[in-house]
A = this chain, B = another copy of it.
Amino acid sequence: MKVIADFSVVPIGVGVSVSKYVAACQRVLDEMKLKTHLHAYGTNVEGEWDEVFAAIKRCHEAVHGMGAPRISTVIKVGTRTDRDQTMSDKVTSVESKLAGPT
């Protein structure tokens, strides 16, 4: 089952800056060769269900390993059986509606 997901990790108990933990998660995603897009409130990721969730689990392990005692993560995950769709398809689909008549 293919998914398009988005997730954001908030380490708790390690100060206000979270970027180095987000970077550690990005390294996990890159190592697993998942297609990603980093934005200002999370990361889009595309792949097979099991790979994507294995990556998020490894991200939690990495962030705990860096010293964060607590993590709260939000994941959005979309699956569809009617057709294949990529992350860039989703963005293009909205943009084509914006370009057309209201």
Contacts and interface: CB of A to CB of B under 8 A. Distances in A.
Interface in A54-102: 57, 60-61, 64, 69-82, 87-88, 90-91, 93-98, 102
Contacts of A61: 1
How many copies of this protein are present in the complex? 4
Contact-size category for A: 35 or more
Contacts of A70: 16, 78-82
Interface of A: 1, 4-6, 8, 10, 12-13, 15-20, 22-23, 26-27, 37-42, 44, 46, 49-50, 53, 57, 60-61, 64, 69-82, 87-88, 90-91, 93-98, 102
| The 10 nearest A-B residue pairs measured at CB | A23-B97, A6-B41, A40-B87, A13-B16, A69-B82, A19-B93, A70-B80, A75-B75, A40-B90, A40-B44
